[in-house]
Structure formats: C-alpha cells, structure tokens
Chain A
C-alpha cells in the first residue's frame, strides 16, 4: 500500500475542506456562545492587543510584567487557537469590517475543523479507496453534535483535528521520513491547542518503538534497548520524587533549578544522543522512530515558543498548568435521571452517551467498523480470528487504538464527565474512518451484485441514504446541537424522558433573544440564567440582543428572566416564580416539546 494520496484525492480533500469551511461560515450566525467561548473571545482580543504592542513597542511587550499582564487571563489553556481567533478578529472584523465580531473570532476554528474531512478523505482513500475516504469525511460532519462544535471558537474540535493530523503524519512519516519533522511540528501545534495532546506520545510511542524494533538489526536493537532503559530510569526517578515529595510537593517545588527539571533534561539529552546514534548505526530503524524523535524534539519547543506566558517562568507555570488539568473541578451533569456531581462516575457513561447521540445510521458502521478493527487486530495474535477477519497489522492497530483512546480515557471514573461528547471528540474521526471502510465494503458488495453500469450510482445512492438521517437531524436541530440526540435515545424528547443532559450552558438562549428584543422594555433589566457577563456583551455587540437592555444578576432585579433547563438548576426557575409571582412563562425555547430556555416576564405592578 502506498500511503501518499493521489493528486485527485488531494484535490478532493481540498474541496472537502473548503466546503466544510464555507458551510460552517454560512451556518454560524445563529449559533449561540457556549459558556467558555466568550471567555476565549475576550482572551483572544486581549492577546491581539499584545501582538499589536509587540509590533509597536517590542521592548515593552516582551517584558515579564507586560507578558504576565497580557497572558494571565485564561492561562489554563495554551495560545495557538486564541491567537488565531484574535488575529482573525482584528483583521476581518476590526480592520476590514467584513464580518461580525463572532465570525471574526470563529473563522480560524472553521479552518482547523475543515482539516478533519480533508484528512479523513486522504487517509481513508489511501487505505480503502476513494469511496471510503469520502464517506468517512462526510459522516463525521453530518453528526449534529460534531457540526455544532465545529462552529465554536473553542478548542475541542481543533484538538480533534490536530490529533488526527499528528497521527496521520506519524503514519505517513513511517513510510516517508521527510514527513517526520512535520509530524513533530503538528505535535507542537496540537500541544499548543489543548492539553489532550499530551497523551499523543502515550498512544504513538508503542507504535514507533515497535516498528523500529521490527526494522532494526542487532546494532539498532541495542540502541533501542538503551533508549528503553533511559525511559525506565526516568520513570523510576519520577516515582522516587513522587514518593519523597508527594504530588503537591512535586508541583510546588518544580523550578528551573530543581531535581524535576534535571530529570526531564537528562531524559531529553539521553534520548537525543541515542537517536543520533541510532541514525548512524541503523537507518531503517531510525526512519521508523523518526516521527517520535521529531515529536519529542520539536513539539515541546513549539509549545514553549508559542506561549509567551511560559517564557520567563517556564517551569512553575507549566507545573501549574498540568496541575490545573489534573485536578479539574467537576460540574454537574445529568445522566439517566441522576445528576453526576463528583467521582466516581459510571464506567459505561461515554459508550452510552456516544450511542445515544450518534444518528443510528452512522452508529452502525462506526460500531461495526470498530468491532472489525478489534477482530482484525486480535487476528494478529489469534490465528483463528486472523483467518476469519483477516490480520490487522500496524495501521489497523493505530486506527483502533486512536478510535478508543479518548473514549476510554474519559471513561475513567475520576475524569471530569461534564461537557459530554466534546471531551472525546478526538476519537470520533477515527471511528468515522472505520465507518468509511464498512461503507466501502457494503457498497462494493452491492455493486458486485448489480450490473457494472449501475455500480457507481448504487454507491452514491447508498451513501445518500445512509447519511440522510444524520443530515436531517443536523438540519432540524441546528443551531442547538448540544441538545441533539439520535434515534436510539428517542430523539430529544426521548432523551428528556431518559433523564439525559438537555443542553450545555448559555448557547441555546439564542432561541429566545428575538422575543426578548421585541418585548423587553426600553432599558429593561434582563436576567439570562447561565449566560455570563462576557456572553451577554457578545450577544449585544453581535446584534443578537438590543444594546439598551441591562444584565442583572438574578430574577429579583429583573424585568425579564430566561432560565436554562438544567436538572441541577431547578431552584433557579423556582426563584423566578417567587420573584415574579407567576409560574406561567411568557415564551420559551421548546425543542421537540422539551423545555430548553423558559422566559418569564414580571407582571405589571
């Protein structure tokens, strides 16, 4: 198999990417601002101002205090996407005035999300043919929740795209060593997108090492063993520090000149020296290991350089960053009639929610694709399975592991579960790829049962029929994608009866803003429950809410109140009843009968 795509498939991938970008842009306007998005808008604006300062007064901009001042806000996430959001906003909204502010921020998110169908096609077509690649690309984006998340100036869809990019380049670089530096760069960009990417080496290292081991001669294997010894020594050293200092002590005492920094530096130096040795002694083995080496060397450099906040205080701020995400708070999240507030969370949660949110016509090929990948990978070690399903080989393992990794990671009972599918989005493009193979197999068999002249049209018709339910659901639920549920759940009303999370925070309020615009008194006081002050400002500056209305902090001060239905927030609606003296809403957003946002108007006194 040649891993490089053909010229035609490159063009198709480009077309798919462009199409995705255009569709996302064209459908962006009604999409509300989820709770964090307005924070990222504000952060992006602030960082854009720093970049402007850098051009005008570089010495000032590069000082420790100014960097801290500029980048302290929202320093729980790295800078790549926020920088892109800020630059795009400045150029396309502030300077050129071509787009509204929100679209200015979101354009880079569309561009990065557009990588997913392009890469899915490139990879799928290289593995199983154009039909599989096209289906993989399309089936990812017609899932309502994927389509929704692709609109946001956030990091979940971008890190899914980056994850796919890194793994794809890693796979390509195993054949073509010229791509190894690119996989290192992509890994750096992934690290600079969201912390999920720190797990990529965990996923990819076994593949790289195993491939190198298989390709290596005796000399090469000796070097590889030494590399393994260095890694084990580092882990033992880290374990020793943990035992002596404890987790908190390890984080707090991590400074530039500290045992922790020494350990990391020693590992990097040792592995680099051994990689150079491997290159000299066993080129074939080095080629297989080169993507990992590039990721190890280039990735951290890109991550450090892209984030000015780390420049003066790399160690302690990085330690804080890891600690923040390792000890993230748990927000309430409703699952099968129960409000999950604290660990341990139910083990099947991720699998159940995935099954209930995917349209069933896509769940089937994704599920079967995963099962087939499992059977084929096991076929490598169990001959009977290998004879029945074929043997998977390295690529099958790579796809299967990546399809499951994020799903299994979030399934761990102590990992935060709020946020639903967005937290395991990096798995979904791989499931889409496996679905592409299943579709291709089905279409190929169908074609073989038909006269040759009908084969092409049969494949197209089959694809259209399989994608249509998802597309219908996506069109129906847009722009309220966080409320979407598939047929297994019984749609949105079935999910309500099952006691599933009804929506995320803030974004569905767009469904009632036009009514509020029409009915709020001049200068009226409005309480938008779970819409933070930044989002309120963003709704106003994007002309989604009248500028004369004022946000208030609760129903007691409000003329109008919009309450978002969350199981854990029932008290908030009841407090509106108390403050307004009525239990009769004025209007609301009811999706397929389910209350999402309920609006109350204070009766005239």
Chain B
C-alpha cells in the first residue's frame, strides 16, 4: 500500500499533466456535439414556416449564432447582435428564441437577466439536435401605429438657419438631399452593434438645423424617439453633441446625444392627438455625427 502511494505521489506531476491533457482532449472531442447540422437548421426553418405569424421575430441565443441566417426564411426578422437580450423588440408580440445551450460559455445569466423579464413561454421548447426553439409572448410589445421610416414619402424636409427663411430639400431617388450637405434617407445602419432600419440623417453644416415635418401623424398612446450615432463615429471623446427636438400635439420632447455616447438615447412623449410632428436636428460637426433616428407612434400592447 505504502509502495503504491509512494509511486502515485512520485508520478503525481505526470498524472496531473495527463489529467489536464485528457480533459482538454475530451473537451475538443465532445465539442462538435454542440454544433447543429444543416438538417437541424432546416427542421427549425420548417417548424417556423408552419407556425409563424405576422409580427414574429427570431432571437438567437447566444447572440452570435448567425449561421442560422443561411437556413431560416429570409422574410422572417432575425435578431442576433451583442446586447440583443436587452432589446425590447416592441414591434414583435411573439419572439422565437432559437437557442443552443450546449455551446460552451453560453451567456445564460445575461439571458435570464435581460431577456426573460416580461417574456412568457408560450409552449415547450422543440428540439432540433442541439438547438431548441421556444416561442415567448413579448410583454414589452406595443402596437406601432406609425414609424417614420415608413413615411419617408410624406416627410417635408428643410434646412433652417438663424434669421434666414427655411431652405427646402429635394428628393433624389430614395434620398432627400438638402443644402449645406444635409441628407435624409431610410436605410440599415449599425448603432452600437445593433442593426437598425432607421431614418439616416446627416445634419447640415454651419450649426444649421435639419427640420423634418410629418404633417398628418395619427393619434398615438405615446411617441417614442430614439437616436444614435452610427458605426465608429460614436465613441470618440470630444465629438460634438447632437440636439434633437420633437414638437407634436403631445408637446415638446428634447433629446441630446452626448459627444462620446454609444448606442441610442431614448425619449417618450405622452399620448398625442392627430397632427403634425416636427423633428429638428442640430449639431456643430455633422460629418462625424451621422444620426440614426427611429420615431414611432405607439398604440396599446397587442
């Protein structure tokens, strides 16, 4: 016995090396079991095709598992970006969470903390290999009465200077081109890793104000204004602020995007009667202050 113990003690460093190597090798050998096959993804796509409804969205968990895009229906919104668990997804009453919890270091704590509040599972998860597909009722959803991105044709855009009459902008294809290098268009952009279809604004130079007017906005329970600087222009310290001022029948709403702020700033006005909205945007440094704006009129929860 003593002899065996002595031998084990003597060989302990080698055994430790072997143990760690075996654990490492074991990890590598079992890792592929966490990877879904194409058939698994196709199964998910078929399941979604059979049960999806208008307003549904798919959320990926972990957020980076975007290989799913290759297989899922192209017209079904799919969300997967760093920080997406905190996204209210308010246009979507039902969220399909496509999860792969067999992957190492899946951020489950973040999912529980940020996604689950106000979300209720509507059915048991369905399994497709290592994937699970679970529908959730989105308790944060709101009816979107009107989104500014869908009303580009109706927007009246001009550049206002102090003491000078407003200078109108002209439409060129799907853009609105303005004096002093200002621009309004609808497009996909990134705000702190979040892909967003938004009103993309380049404010006018010289500290002038870009004025965007929607003359016939409907009544709404609330107006939600969100604005963020796109891509890499957001983070640098010392950049100029952007001032946004929304006038609506509900009153005035003022937002400021601070110089080095990344992500959206948000503001919500109380219920609004039908009438015009006017959004005014000003900055002293427009070339690195390109703004992605989401302006939505919200109704009751669906």
Contacts and interface: CB of A to CB of B under 8 A. Distances in A.
B136 interface: no
Interface in B148-197: 187-190, 193, 195
Contacts of B195: 570, 573-574, 577
B70 interface: yes
A568 interface: yes
- 10 A-B pairs with the lowest CB-CB distances in the bound complex, closest first: A490-B104, A571-B231, A469-B24, A446-B14, A494-B104, A442-B13, A361-B21, A494-B105, A571-B190, A490-B105
A129 to B, nearest CB: 16
A8 B78 CA distance: 63
Interface stretch (A72-80, A191-199, A587-595): A587-595
Interface string A363-400: 01100000000000000000000000000000000000
B72 to A, nearest CB: 8
Chain A binding surface SS class: helix
B82 to A, nearest CB: 7
Interface of A: 332, 337, 339, 341, 359-361, 364-365, 438-439, 441-443, 445-446, 448-449, 458, 462, 465-466, 468-469, 472-473, 476, 486-487, 489-491, 493-494, 496-499, 567-568, 570-571, 573-575, 577-578, 582-585, 587-588, 590, 592-595, 598
Q: What bracket does the count of chain B residues touching chain A fall in? A: 35 or more
Contacts of B17: 361, 364-365, 439, 442, 462, 465-466
B193 A570 contact: yes
Given A497-B107, A584-B74, A588-B70, A487 B23 contact: yes
20 contacts: A364-B16, A365-B17, A442-B13, A442-B16, A445-B12, A449-B10, A469-B21, A486-B24, A487-B23, A487-B24, A491-B28, A497-B105, A498-B105, A570-B231, A573-B195, A574-B190, A578-B188, A578-B189, A585-B70, A593-B103
Contacts of A578: 187-189
Nearest to A368: B13
A579 to B, nearest CB: 9
Contact of A438 (B11, B13, B22, B25): B13
Interface in B188-247: 188-190, 193, 195, 230-232, 235
B166 to A, nearest CB: 29
A491 B21 CA distance: 15
B70 A496 contact: no
A469 B7 contact: no
Given A466-B18, A571-B232, A592-B31, A493 B103 contact: yes
B278 interface: no
Interface of B: 6-8, 10-14, 16-18, 20-25, 27-28, 31-32, 34-36, 62, 64-67, 69-70, 74, 78, 81-82, 100, 103-107, 187-190, 193, 195, 230-232, 235
Contact of A443 (B14, B21, B36, B107): B14
A568 B234 CA distance: 11
A295 B34 CA distance: 54
A462 B19 CA distance: 11
A491 B104 contact: yes
> Which of A445, A489, A573 counts the most chain B CB atoms within 10 A?
A445
A575 B14 contact: no
Contacts of A365: 17
With a 10 A CB-CB cut-off, give which of A337, A574, A590 has the most chain B CB atoms: A574
A357 B110 CA distance: 24
A548 B104 CA distance: 42
Contacts of A364: 16-17, 20
Most buried by B among A361, A568, A590: A361
B7 to A, nearest CB: 4
Given A465-B18, A469-B28, A491-B27, A575 B188 contact: yes
Q: Which of B18, B27, B100, B187 has the most CB of A within 10 A?
A: B27
A493 B103 CA distance: 7
Nearest to A486: B24
A367 to B, nearest CB: 11
A442 B8 CA distance: 12
Nearest to B185: A578
Contacts of B67: 588, 590, 593, 595
